[in-house]
Amino acid sequence: MQEYLQSTAVIDCDHPTIVAAAAEIVGDAMDDEEIARRCFLWVRDSVRHSSDHGIPVVTCTASDVLRHRAGFCYAKSHLLAALLRARGIPAALCYQRLSFDPSGSAFFLHGLVAVHLRRHGWYRIDPRGDKDGVASDFCPPVERLPYAPSLDGESDIEGLFSDALPCVVSTLQRWDTADEVLANLPSDAI
């Protein structure tokens, strides 16, 4: 479990602003499920999804996402994982390969988080943010994810990742605007 508690360059859970935000968000909660629920709801509802809200800034590290209160699904997942790790709760990154539309002609990677809860083990949560037709929630042990791979070519990427995939980091660091990121989302976990 140690690898899912460590700070990385992207999931900078030891950054002073992350540590302070995690303490404030969690408040008096002691139970790991309640801590995870509060962190999940805060990121889902208080950090805006860049393309949903027309926010041009591109964020990658958890501390940058916190500072700008905006990011793509990957970045929001980096922040949620960092907040959980800052409170001593193991958190991993997960990915799905999804289609842009029902035709399955083009795909993109979608980022989410798995949190290790004492009573349930690994439990996936998606802090992407709700909008019409897209909703997520925290209801262990039942996963309430906004997307379920169903088309040919769609899938849940196997594995729990202690840090962001290189293709995700390079995408978020290469492009200057959210529109550019949206036009160049990675489609595979390579």
Within a domain: 188? no
Within a domain: 190? no
A 10 A CB-CB count for 155 gives 14
Provide the residue range defining the domain that includes 93.
2-183
Tell me the average confidence (pLDDT) per consecutive run of 10 residues in the chain, 190 residues long: 97 98 97 98 97 94 98 98 98 96 91 98 96 93 95 95 97 95 90
pLDDT score, position 190? 72
Distance, in Å, from the CA atom of 180 to the CA atom of 126, rounded to the nearest integer, reads 23
pLDDT score, position 167? 97
What is the count of structural domains for the chain?
1
Within a domain: 27? yes
Report long-range pairs for 42-46 (Cβ below 8 Å, ≥24 apart).
42/83, 43/76, 43/79, 43/80, 43/83, 43/127, 44/76, 44/126, 44/127, 44/128, 44/129, 44/130, 44/136, 45/129, 45/130
The CATH number of the domain holding residue 75 is 3.10.620.30
Within a domain: 189? no
Within a domain: 14? yes
Is 0.75 surpassed by the pTM of this model? yes
Contact 128, 44 (CB under 8 A): yes
pLDDT score, position 189? 81
